[in-house]
Amino acid sequence: MTKIIFYLLNIIFIFLYIYPGSLLGFLIYNDILKQPQITSNFIVSSNHLYAFFLLSSLGLIIYSKSTKKIILYLILISIILELFHLFIPNRSFQFSDLFGNIAGVLISIFILILFNTWRKK
């Protein structure tokens, strides 16, 4: 069941990333150009950090036996999905979004490493 949730979350992410505009902005504000903001941005995009932290945490928990493969997948998808914004109308590539994606993945990896280290003791 958790694998299905992970796959569904991947499909939702891909759809939201390749939609020309903000689908969430359209649903909430009736404006595809307005992006809902969970919290204020800091150095990186907080929305992207939270989203990729959630996706990465779930993926790392589910695929704990093939950690290298899932880490590679998560890093690649975080980069590729943001690069798609260079070509999609009404979307824009932003380094703060890209760094938010990558930071979300790296934070979840760091927490997994800490948890595994703590568990071994």
Per residue in 22-81, pLDDT (tens digit) is 777 777 788 777 777 667 777 888 889 999 999 999 999 999 888 899 999 999 999 999
Name, in order, each residue with C-beta under 8 angstroms of 16's C-beta and a sequence gap of 6 or more.
23, 24
Show me where the domains of the chain are located: 2-120
CB-CB neighbours of 17 under 10 Å: 19
Q: Identity (one letter) of the amino acid at 2?
A: T
Q: Tell me the C-alpha distance between 119 and 82, whole Å.
A: 35
pLDDT score, position 52: 96
pLDDT digits (tens, 9 = 90+) for 84-111: 999 988 788 999 999 999 999 999 999 9
Q: Tell me the C-alpha distance between 38 and 3, whole Å.
A: 26
pLDDT score, position 96: 92
pTM: 0.86
